[in-house]
Amino acid sequence: MPIPIFDPFHTPGGALKRVPLLKAAVAFIAAVCLCLCGLLYLQLEQSRRYDLESARVASANLTRAMAQQAQDTFLQTDLVLASLADWMQIDGFGPALQPRLQATFSRRVQSLEQLHGLFLFDKHGQWVITSFENLHRGPGIADREYFTFHQQNASLIAHIGPAIRSRQNGEWIIPVSRRLNDQDGNFQGVLLAGIKMSYFDQFFKSFSLDDKGEMVLALSNGILLARRPFDEAKIGRSLLQDPVFQHESQSITSDNTAIRSVVDGVLRLYDHQHLQAYPLVVTAAMSEEAILASWHDRAFQSILIVALVVLGICLFGWVFLRQVRNSERIEADLRKAQEALELIATHDSLTGLANRRLFERALDIEFGRGARQRSPLSLVMVDIDFFKRYNDTYGHVAGDHCLAEMAKVLKSCCHRKADLAVRYGGEEFAVLLPDTNLQGAMALAEQIRQRVIDTHITHSGSPIGYLTVSLGCYAFVPSSLDSIEVFIQRADAALYQAKHGGRNRVAALSSEGGLDPLERSDR
């Protein structure tokens, strides 16, 4: 049975607990860093969504304001046209009434800021009356889209046509026109109000919008009427193939989404709304770059701060792990030193066998176990014959070598882990055999005696010319009343019997105190 040795540095499970400590430290540091990065990501993502949502709300408010302004503008113009059309439908616009109508046209234009002018054309597209004092009679407007529309459609509702340049002064205007019929319902002419495009341009500029933002007023069929920033080349262009307008055309009233422009590649947040009373749509767009400009600044600061914190944690963790590894190395060194000290304290330095201290501890343990289990315990005492003569003849160095060879023999004969070979003192050795009766002890003793002879160590001081040993055996079943000292004395008495019986033999003492009849020797 192995002899347990107390080691304060090698506690049960200690080796298993140290490995998880390193892993736990690394996992903890990694978890803290990941949590910080995760929290930063969640915070930045939440902040980004908040900024985009705020921009969507602002964009929706902007489009509602644009839609309301556009509807009010066209409604006021339509009311003016409707009142004038009703008047002329009843009284006509003969030469006698034209001066009065011209004055009325002029007053109405002056009362509405958005109006460029009011114009009346006959059924052939020729100029009849304008709000300008000096009537400019050009080639006529029979080729204009609005004139052709009313000429071919009997509807009396207002018609909004594509933006055109006024032939009066070349200014860009948005035409709003109504058809005039005679009393029989036949086409009689067209009443036109021109809305200044500059009016919408000034209105668009009243809003705070980034340089890459966009504001658009267009017909429902996709024809561009007004835009910020103003680009004359795009006026009158169809937006039907534009991804933005295609998205708008799928919505009934209003919607917003982020779309990347195919023209300049800028990602914008678009919102659009269709006017309920007129076939018009307004669109407002803010670039995502401008929307998230402040968010990018906050994100950079937050990332920098978290990066510094993570770096600090990593540096601290690196130092901590180095300390843990150093502690492991120190503990391993201490454990080795403890094991070396334990070996020194419990084993003989010359032979490597257990010393008397370990022998006494083992005896105490085996006595208790034997008493509990009622199992036999044996002890074999071994003494080298004529060892003093050997030292005197060959010297102490040869004597030490002889003791070492004797230790090898004892180790080779102790096959069980529970067997304990001990250097008892000087040239005397002992073998403790748990769970072994007297016959087993005698057999092992005889094996040791024969193995020593087989080593053929020359000993001129011995009567037979080579090294021999004498052995004494004692075995019994210990109890709580038995004494360890008596146990050793009886084995020693058996050894005394073997030495005084002629040496080079095995003697045993029975548990009754007499000499065992199974005494063996080479004579």
Q: What does the alpha-carbon distance between residue 271 and residue 501 come to, in Å, rounded to a whole number?
A: 120
Collapsed DSSP state (helix, strand, coil) of residue 66: helix
Q: What does the alpha-carbon distance between residue 132 and residue 58 come to, in Å, rounded to a whole number?
A: 41
- Which of these, 401, 385, 384, 382, lies nearest to 495 by C-alpha position? 382
β-strand 505-509 against 469-476: which pairing, if any?
A: parallel
The Cα angle at residue 510 between residues 508 and 514, in degrees rounded to 5 = 95
Q: In sequence order, which ranges of 233-292 are alpha helices (DSSP H)?
A: 243-249, 288-291
| DSSP 8-state secondary structure symbol assigned to residue 96 | T
Burial of 194 (0-12, 13-18, 19+ CB in 10 A): buried
**Residues forming a β-bridge with 130:** 119
The secondary structure of 388-422, three-state, reads HHHHHHHCHHHHHHHHHHHHHHHHHHCCCCCCEEE
Element holding 204 (H helix, E strand): helix 197-205
Largest CA distance in the chain: 172
β-strand 224-228 against 254-260: which pairing, if any?
A: unpaired
- What residues contact residue 19 under an 8 Å CB cut-off, 6+ apart? none
Element holding 454 (H helix, E strand): helix 438-454
Instruction: Give me the torsion for CA of 447, 452, 453, 457, rounded to 10°.
Output: 170
Say how many residues make up the chain.
Answer: 523
Q: What does the alpha-carbon distance between residue 158 and residue 192 come to, in Å, rounded to a whole number?
A: 9
- Which of these, 2, 65, 35, lies nearest to 418 by C-alpha position? 2
Q: In sequence order, which ranges of 253-376 are alpha helices (DSSP H)?
A: 288-291, 293-346, 356-373
Q: Which of 214, 288, 366, 427 is the catalytic position?
A: 427
- Which of these, 381, 364, 356, lies nearest to 509 by C-alpha position? 381
- Which of these, 402, 491, 417, 409, lies nearest to 446 by C-alpha position? 409
> Is 171 among the residues known to form the active site?
no
Question: Which amino acid, 318?
Answer: W
**Residues forming a β-bridge with 118:** 193
As annotated, the active-site residues are: 427
